[in-house]
Amino acid sequence: HVQLVESGGGSVQAGGSLRLSCVATGNTNAVTNWGWFRRYPGQRRYGVARIDNNGITRYVDSVKGRFTISKDKAENTLHLQMDSLIPEDTAMYYCGVDTGAPPEDLDSWVQWIDSWGQGTQVTVS
C-alpha cells in the first residue's frame, strides 16, 4: 500500500502560478503511474495529468501548455507546476497512483487508482 500526502494548494489571482507536491511512502516500487486529479464541488474526480515510470506524460486538453507534471524519483515526490491559472482551475486537487496497466484516457484511469492523497484546495479568482 502507498500513502500519499499533498501540499502546495492555496488562493491565487488569475494568471498566477502554484506548485503542488505529493510525497509518497510505503510500497512505491509497485507503482506504475503517478498523477493528479481534480474534483469540482458535487462532482467526481477527473484526471488532469499523468506520468509513468518511463517519464511519459499525458495531460487533459484543458491544461496542456499550462500545467507540468514531474516526479523526483529519489525523493518519491510528485509535482504539478500550474501556470497561467484560470478560475476554471478552481477545485480540490488529489494525487493518485496505480499499480496496473490502465487505459490511456485520463478519465477512465480514475477507476484504476489504488491510493489517493487527502487533497489540497486550489482557488483562482
Provide φ and ψ at 28, rounded to 5°: -70, -20
Lowest mean pLDDT among 51-65, 83-97, 102-116: 102-116
Question: Looking at per-residue confidence, does 23 or 107 come out higher?
Answer: 23
Task: Kindly tell me if the per-residue pLDDT of 98 is higher than 90.
Answer: yes
Instruction: Give me the pLDDT at residue 107, please.
Output: 86
Provide φ and ψ at 16, rounded to 5°: -85, -175
- d(CA 41, CA 61) in angstroms, rounded, equals 21
Task: Kindly tell me if the per-residue pLDDT of 103 is higher than 90.
Answer: no
- d(CA 48, CA 106) in angstroms, rounded, equals 7
Q: Distances from the Cα of 96 to the Cαs of 14, 34, 84, 107, in angstroms?
A: 26, 6, 23, 13
**What is the per-residue DSSP string for 65-77?**
TTEEEEEETTTTE
Cell of 48: 488532469
- d(CA 25, CA 70) in angstroms, rounded, equals 17
pLDDT in tens, 45-60: 999 999 999 999 999 9
Average of per-residue pLDDT across 60-74: 95
Residue 20, CA atoms < 13 Å, CB-side half-sphere: 34
Instruction: Give me the pLDDT at residue 102, please.
Output: 86
pLDDT confidence bin for 73, thresholds 50/70/90: confident
Mean of the per-residue pLDDT values of the chain: 95
